[in-house]
Amino acid sequence: MVVFPELSLIGYPPQGLFKMKDFTRDCQAALRQVVEHADGIGVLLGTALQDDKKGLYSAVLLIGNRQVVGYTAKRKLKVLGAFDEACYFELFCGTDSLAFRGYKLAVAVGDDVWGDAEYRGVDLIINISASPYRYGQFKWHNDILVHVAKKIGAPPGVCKSDGRQR
């Protein structure tokens, strides 16, 4: 399985990119290319996902056999100046686990990993995230993920990008 960070397809933070005329269309074209090449492997891809009924999510898609086979999305949105995710995204209320090749994966997006979610009966917990760089932040996030993993008895996996889009 190949795992990409939060919003890796579009860049984090998106800020005004959604206001650009062709941005959403170009993102969908890029997603189609990823899906076409995901043959024989699983891919967890962080991107924006439009739900026609509920809005736009900061989501992670599970891709396999050249199709999107499942998704989950962020439950806690940051509201920190330029990182005001609530300006773009809706809170997700669906499942936080995805099935892949007989394994139940808990997939937490960003800060959701230390939230109120009950990760029970999962085989692996994976946290994908993106954050502005801050010294010591990786250790802090890693310590939280390890604590949650020990609590639920599942090994942790993490894919994180640090930095800032310019």
pLDDT at 136: 72
> 5-45: per-residue pLDDT in tens?
999 998 877 777 887 878 888 988 999 999 999 999 999 99
Q: Which long-range contacts (CB under 8 A, 24 or more apart) does 62-68 make?
A: 62/98, 62/100, 62/105, 62/107, 63/34, 63/35, 63/38, 64/38, 64/100, 65/38, 65/39, 65/40, 66/35, 66/36, 66/37, 66/38, 66/39, 67/35, 68/35
Tell me: pLDDT of 165 over 70.
no
The domain tally of the chain equals 1
Nearest to 102 by CA among 66, 64, 46: 64
Token look-up 């579009």 returns 10
pLDDT at 163: 57
Residues of the domain holding 48? 2-162
Residue 143: which CATH number? Answer: 3.60.110.10
Residue 68 has phi, psi (to 5 degrees) of: -80, 120
pLDDT at 164: 53
Mean pLDDT of 109-124: 82
| 64 vs 40: CA distance, rounded Å | 7
pTM: 0.88
Whole-number Cα distances in Å, 13 to 37, 73, 95, 121: 26, 16, 24, 32
